[in-house]
């Protein structure tokens, strides 16, 4: 395959497209093993996030395996209890994560941009290279591996590598270039995310409030409060046409102690908006190529598992890639072990997160009644709570029939 005239080709063991949490974690893992790795990122720089991110036991365990947990603990706030309330009606349940038989039986809420900066620093310390403002264009098979064509500052750049990894999100350009078929489902709910000032009473617990067609969460992070708000997509434009003050008053009415902390939110632009989608793909791998994170299993945010599963993907894929180096075999068949290791759990979490959203953020009266019933049953039964939290924390990949029945009866 001819190289573009005047374009210098740089050679790497692995090229990763996407400098998000999963891509950086994979880069760090490979670079720690002495591999020559570069990450291509379309953004010019890491901009401060307008939202929080909750790391759960599966993500925390993965950071521990990478040797990164201690540095991440410094940028987040720990929580062991999440209390659920029905808006204007009172308490429903309190989930206690400390009952989990796991070394990391807590939640850690961080600001995503701070986590990305931490991972970038760790990756660079191992010799990893990050190309910002670099747009992936295509990848082609070559005798030695793959050629990756991209554009940096409007100039063409090329890379060669044994393997390319797409960690570039639900609309993955790498996935499209590999012609891997994807099914993308738009969820009916939209989500508003924001960061407000700290609240003393929220330092020891997180709170989630539900009503028909609405769910609001308040989670402490270091020096801030992470707030998320579920709203029906068909109501979003009408909702955002109101003055911001009306929305903030609604939040203060739901959680009065947050009132003073909302003063930092002055414009709608201070609030992030996300339309969530589910991504399912036919294959996670191809010859000398793999995908991870939202590129293969984007999911409803109700279980807050996206980044946690991407971290797990990164470690599993890193181990698989090392075996490929040992065998000198980067075929789809050799990489398939990574998919077999991760797909079952990813699909379980996708499915159950979707069901949770259907029961807790629904406008349907019957489903909402059923959701409250499930929350109350979990809150009253310690063993049932343990099973529910193991699932939502990515620690199991199935419910037994008996467990499914116990949630309802």
pLDDT at 408 over 80: no
For 177-197, the pLDDT digits (tens) are 999 999 999 998 889 999 999
Asked if residue 311 belongs to a domain, the reply is yes
* Same domain for 153 and 69: yes
To which residue do tokens 């984007």 refer?
A: 298
The answer as to whether 256 is a domain residue is no
Q: Determine the Cα–Cα distance for residues 102 and 10; give it in Å rounded to an integer.
A: 43
Q: What is the pLDDT of residue 246?
A: 93
For residues 319 and 385, state if they share a domain.
no
Residue 176 maps to a domain: yes
Confirm whether 139 is domain-assigned. Answer: yes
- Tell me, yes or no, whether 178 lies in a domain: yes
- pLDDT tens digit sequence for 219-235: 999 999 999 999 877 77
Do 68 and 176 share a domain, yes or no? yes
Do 372 and 288 share a domain, yes or no?
no
The pLDDT score that the predictor gives to residue 1 is: 45
Identify whether 305 is part of a domain.
yes
pTM score of the predicted model = 0.95
Identify the residue with better confidence: 361 or 142.
142
The pLDDT of residue 4 is 58
**pLDDT-based confidence at residue 56 (cuts at 50, 70, 90):** very high
Asked if residue 139 and residue 46 are part of one domain, the reply reads yes
Return the pLDDT at 407: 82
User: Same domain for 70 and 121?
Assistant: yes
Q: Is 306 part of any domain?
A: yes
Q: Show the tokens assigned to 339.
A: 């998919």
322 has a pLDDT exceeding 80: yes
What integer pLDDT is reported at residue 400 of this predicted model? 87
Cα(52)–Cα(225) distance, integer angstroms:
8
- Asked whether residue 391 falls in the same domain as residue 307, the answer is no
CB distance 82 to 146 below 8 Å:
no
| Residue 95 in this model has a pLDDT that exceeds 50 | yes
Q: How far is CA 286 from the centre of its chain?
A: 23
pLDDT score, position 363? 84
For residue 299, report the phi and psi dihedrals to the nearest 5 degrees.
-150, 170
Question: CB-based contacts of 380: which residues, under 8 Å, 6+ apart?
Answer: 93
pLDDT at 195: 98
Q: Is 382 found in the same domain as 314? A: no
Q: Which of 53-67, 202-216, 330-344 has the lowest mean pLDDT?
A: 202-216
Q: Which helix (H) or strand (E) holds 229?
A: strand 224-232
- Spatial separation of the C-alpha atoms in residues 230 and 361, rounded to whole Å: 7
Percent of the chain with pLDDT over 70: 98
Using only C-alpha atoms, the chain has a radius of gyration, in whole angstroms, of 22
- Supply the CATH number for residue 66's domain: 3.50.50.60
Is residue 109 classed as helix, strand or coil in its secondary structure? Answer: strand
Of 29-43, 109-123, 361-375, the one with minimum mean pLDDT is 361-375
| CB-count burial class (<10 Å; 0-12, 13-18, 19+) for 156 | middle
Task: Give the pLDDT of residue 171.
Answer: 97
Domain-ending residue, one of 339, 357, 375 = 357
In DSSP terms, 96 is beta-bridged to 81
Q: What are the Cα distances from residue 338, in Å, to 32, 99, 161, 236?
A: 19, 31, 19, 39
DSSP 8-state symbol, 213: T
CB 43 within 8 A of CB 2: no
* 3-class DSSP state of 311: helix
d(CA 273, CA 302): 15
43 and 137 together in one domain:
yes
Unique residue bearing structure tokens 């999100």: 169
319 touches 337 (CB < 8 A): no
Q: Are residues 320 and 384 in the same domain?
A: no
Judged against a pLDDT cut of 60, whether residue 47 lies above it is answered with: yes
Task: Name the residue with tokens 């949770």.
Answer: 356
pLDDT mean across residues, the chain: 94
Pairing of strands 129-131, 37-40: parallel
Predicted local confidence at residue 188, as pLDDT: 85
- Answer with the one of 314, 339, 357 that is the final residue of a domain: 357
User: pLDDT tens digits, residue range 282-318?
Assistant: 999 999 999 999 999 999 998 999 999 999 999 999 9
Q: Which residues lie below 8 Å from residue 221, measured CB to CB, with a gap of 6+?
A: 52, 76, 77, 109, 110, 111, 195
Residues 68 and 133 in one domain: yes
Mean pLDDT over 197-219 rounds to 93
Asked whether residue 207 is domain-assigned, the answer is no
CA atoms within 13 A on the CB side of 30: 33
**DSSP secondary-structure letter at 361?**
S
Mean pLDDT of 369-395: 96
As for how many domains the chain has, the answer is 2
| C-alpha angle 27-193-110 in degrees, rounded to nearest 5 | 45
Based on the domain organization, do 129 and 36 belong to the same domain?
yes
Residue given tokens 């603990």 in the structure block:
73
> Residue 194 has which token pair?
């924001």
User: 164: domain range?
Assistant: 7-52+60-75+111-185+278-357
């Amino acid at each position: 395959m001819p190289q573009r005239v005047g374009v210098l080709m740089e050679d790497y063991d692995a090229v990763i497209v996407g400098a998000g949490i999963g891509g950086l974690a994979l880069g760090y893992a490979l670079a720690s093993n002495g591999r020559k790795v570069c990450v291509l990122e379309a953004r010019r720089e890491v901009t401060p996030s307008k939202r929080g991110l909750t790391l759960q036991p599966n993500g925390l365990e993965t950071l521990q395996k990478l040797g990164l947990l201690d540095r991440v603990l410094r940028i987040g706030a720990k929580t062991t209890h999440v209390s659920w309330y029905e808006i204007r009606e009172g308490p429903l349940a309190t989930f206690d994560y400390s009952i989990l038989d796991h070394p990391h039986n807590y939640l850690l809420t961080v600001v995503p941009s701070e986590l990305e900066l931490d991972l970038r620093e760790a990756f660079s310390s191992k010799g990893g290279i990050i190309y910002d403002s670099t747009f992936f264009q295509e990848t082609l098979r070559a005798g030695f591996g793959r050629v990756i064509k991209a554009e940096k500052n409007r100039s063409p750049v090329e890379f060669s590598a044994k393997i390319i990894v797409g960690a570039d999100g639900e609309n993955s350009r790498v996935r499209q270039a590999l012609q891997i078929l994807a099914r993308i489902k738009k969820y009916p709910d939209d989500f508003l995310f924001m960061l407000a000032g700290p609240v003393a009473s929220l330092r020891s617990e997180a709170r989630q409030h539900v009503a028909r067609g609405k769910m609001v969460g308040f989670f402490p992070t270091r020096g801030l409060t992470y707030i998320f708000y579920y709203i029906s997509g068909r109501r979003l434009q009408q909702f955002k046409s109101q003055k911001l003050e009306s929305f903030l008053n609604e939040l203060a009415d739901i959680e009065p102690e947050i009132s003073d902390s909302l003063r930092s939110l002055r414009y709608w632009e201070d609030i992030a908006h996300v339309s969530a989608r589910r991504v399912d793909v036919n294959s996670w791998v191809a010859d000398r190529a793999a995908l991870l994170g939202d590129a293969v299993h984007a999911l409803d945010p109700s279980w807050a598992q996206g980044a946690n599963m991407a971290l797990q993907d990164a470690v599993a894929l890193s181990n698989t890639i090392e075996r490929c180096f040992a065998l000198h075999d980067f075929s789809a068949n050799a990489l398939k072990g990574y998919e077999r290791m991760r797909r079952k759990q990813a699909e379980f979490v996708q499915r159950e997160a979707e069901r949770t959203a259907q029961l807790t953020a629904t406008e349907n009266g019957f489903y909402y009644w059923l959701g409250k019933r499930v929350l109350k049953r979990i809150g009253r039964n310690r063993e049932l709570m343990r099973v529910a939290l193991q699932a939502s924390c990515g620690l199991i990949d199935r419910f037994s029939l008996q467990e499914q029945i116990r949630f309802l009866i």
